[in-house]
Amino acid sequence: MDQADAYFSSFRRCNYPRHISNGTIIIRECGRYARFNDIPSVWWQVSTVLIGSATAITVIVAVSSISACCVTHVIQKSTAKIAGYLQLLAAALVSGGGAFYPIGWDNREVKESCGNISGPYKLGTCHLSWSVYMLGSSVVLLLLCFYLSFYASRDSPGNSFRSI
């Protein structure tokens, strides 16, 4: 094609090919898929659901944690453990979404942009962007938060500093 960098995610695309009557052109703009069923790969749909669910869980845990600043006794040993388990679940969902996403690299849009040699876990002539590394970093941070939640559940608030 025209040497334009194409970007694909599970729900958005930039500089993507479009078929017209005279052939194929590159659309130099970003856009979301209009409907969930417009996402070109079932694997990208699965990835969208998994990562979206993980995001929702993470937001719920974050809002609950922030509410601990305003309301006393929100975070107790049991709620810290529940938050830790939810963060572990979110890390597993993000990891699963990240693992399923490359299976969808055999769809038509990717093949047109990255070459016909594209396939599951084989990107062809294209390269990964920084967003993949950010996704991996989010898994590491969620696992760190899981560990810290369990560490916090072991510590009693009154026993940390004793007055003499």
Query: pLDDT tens, 43-85?
Result: 989 999 999 999 999 999 998 888 777 766 666 778 888 889 9
Q: Which of 164, 41, 153 is nearest to 105 (CA)?
A: 41
pTM: 0.78
Residue 101 burial (C-beta neighbours within 10 Å; 0-12, 13-18, 19+) = buried
In the chain, what percentage of residues exceed pLDDT 70? 74
- Cα separation, 119 vs 124, whole angstroms: 8
Q: Which amino acid is at 159?
A: N
Residue 26 has pLDDT above 70, yes or no: no
pLDDT at 163: 44
Residue pair 117/105 in contact by the 8 Å Cβ criterion: no
Mean pLDDT to the nearest integer, 142-155: 84
* Model pLDDT for residues 84-113, shown as the tens digit of each residue: 999 999 999 999 999 999 998 888 878 877
User: If you ran DSSP here, which 8-state letter would residue 95 be given?
Assistant: H
Q: Where are the alpha helices (DSSP H) in 101-159?
A: 108-114, 130-154
